[in-house]
Amino acid sequence: MEVAQISRAIASALKLNEDMTEALALVHDIGHPPFGHAGERALDEALQEFDQRFDHNLHALRVVEYFEVRYAGFRGLNLTLGVREGIVKHSRSYSSEEHPELRSYFLDQQPPLEAQLIDLADEIAYLTADMDDGMEAGMLHPEMLRRHVRIFHESLLLAEREFPAAPQNLLANEALKKMLNTLVGDLIRETARRVNAGGIVTLEDVRRSPQRLVAFSPQMEELRREAKLHLYTALYSSEELQRDLQEAAMVVRNLFTFWVNDPSRLPAANQSQIPEHGVPRVVADYIAAMTDNYILLQYAEWVKDRGSVPG
C-alpha cells in the first residue's frame, strides 16, 4: 500500500498515468512466495534441480494471466498490455533468447515510465519502513543510524530543529518522513530533468532511450546506497534475522521435496494441473500461493506426521 501511495504521488507530479501506476504498484509483489525473497530463492534453488527457475515477476504474470479466472471465454484478468508489461519489466530486463515466451512485451525496449518508477518507489518504501521496523524492534537505534546514514542524519537534524522538545521516538518518526520526502522529491526532479534533456515526448521516445529515465540524482543515489548498505550490515545480516531466513528456506525446501515425491498429497485442483505443467512447477505454484502463516501450519502438520523436527 505504501508503494502504491508513493508511486501515485510521483506519477501525479510527473503527469503520468496514475491509475496504471497504482495498478502496477499494487501488483508488483503479488508473485512473491511466502517469506519474500528468502522463499523465492529457496523455490528457485529447488526448481533448478529440475532445470526450471522461479522468478517472482514471471510468477506474478502467471497469476494474472492463468491462475485468476474471472471470464467464461478465457483465463486471466484481461489486464492491458501496459500493465502486463510493467509486471514483467518494472524491476529488471529479460532477454528474448532466454524467455521467448515474453517476446510480446518489447524485451529489447525500455518499459513505460509508469513501470520504471515502481522499483524505485519500492526502494524508498522499504528503506524507510525497514528502518522504522528495525528501531521498533530495538535492532537499530537513531543515534547509530545518524552516524552511518547521512540522509537519516540530515533528516533528523531538521526534525530536531522543528520539534526541539519532542521525545526521541517521535523525532525518529519525523526524520523518516522527511527522508522519504527527500527521496521522492529528488526522484521526481531527476526524472523530469532526464526526460527534458533527452527530448522525450512520446512513449516511443521512452522505449528507445538507451537507459531507464526514472532515477535518482547521482548525489541522492550515493546516499541511497549508503543507507541500503547500512541496513544490510546492521539489520539484514544480523544473526537473528539470518537464522529466521534459514529456517524459512528449510520450510520451503522440505515441503517442496515432500509434495514432489508424493503429489497425491496435493489438493485435487493442483493435481489436475500436473499433466499440463509437471509436478515440480505445480508444487512451486502451490507453495507460492501460500501466506507465511499458512505454510507454517502446513509445515507443522508435516512435522507432526513425521514425528520429529528435521535438522
- What pLDDT digit, counting tens, does each position of 101-124 carry? 999 999 999 999 999 999 999 999
**Cα–Cα distance for residue pair 18/254, rounded to 1 Å:** 42
pLDDT category, 305, cuts 50, 70, 90? confident
Tens-digit pLDDT profile for residues 135-146: 999 999 999 999
Tens-digit pLDDT profile for residues 160-213: 999 999 999 999 999 999 999 999 999 999 999 999 999 999 999 999 999 999
Residue 310's SS3 state is coil
Ranges of each domain in the chain:
2-105, 116-238, 241-306
Q: How far is CA 28 from the centre of its chain?
A: 6
In the block, residue with C-alpha cell 505445480: 282
In the block, residue with C-alpha cell 521496523: 133
Runs of H (alpha helix) within 198-238: 203-208, 218-231
Tens-digit pLDDT profile for residues 267-295: 999 999 999 999 999 999 999 999 999 99
**Cα–Cα distance for residue pair 140/172, rounded to 1 Å:** 11
pLDDT at position 311, please?
44
Tens-digit pLDDT profile for residues 224-249: 999 999 999 999 988 888 899 999 99
DSSP 76: B
**pTM of structure:** 0.90
Mean pLDDT of 306-311: 56
Contact 176, 145 (CB under 8 A): no
Q: List the one residue out of 151, 133, 143, 153 whose CA is nearest residue 235.
A: 133
* pLDDT reading at 91 higher than 80: yes
**Cα–Cα distance for residue pair 159/191, rounded to 1 Å:** 27
81-89 vs 113-136: helix crossing angle, rounded to 10: 50
Mean pLDDT of 241-261: 95
Contact 50, 27 (CB under 8 A): no
Cell numbers for 205, please give them: 521516445
Size of the chain in residues: 311
Cell numbers for 199, please give them: 527530448
Residue 69's SS3 state is strand
Cell numbers for 117, please give them: 518508477
Contact 11, 35 (CB under 8 A): no
Query: 69: which strand partners?
Result: 76
Contact 213, 200 (CB under 8 A): yes
Q: List the one residue out of 270, 311, 307 whose CA is nearest residue 287.
A: 270
Contact 215, 271 (CB under 8 A): no
pLDDT category, 310, cuts 50, 70, 90? very low
DSSP 66: I
Mean pLDDT of the chain: 95
Number of H helices and number of E strands within the chain?
16, 0
Phi and psi angles of residue 69, each rounded to the nearest 5 degrees, phi first: -125, 110
**Cα–Cα distance for residue pair 161/171, rounded to 1 Å:** 10
**Cα–Cα distance for residue pair 178/189, rounded to 1 Å:** 16
Side-chain-side CA neighbours of residue 76 (13 Å): 13
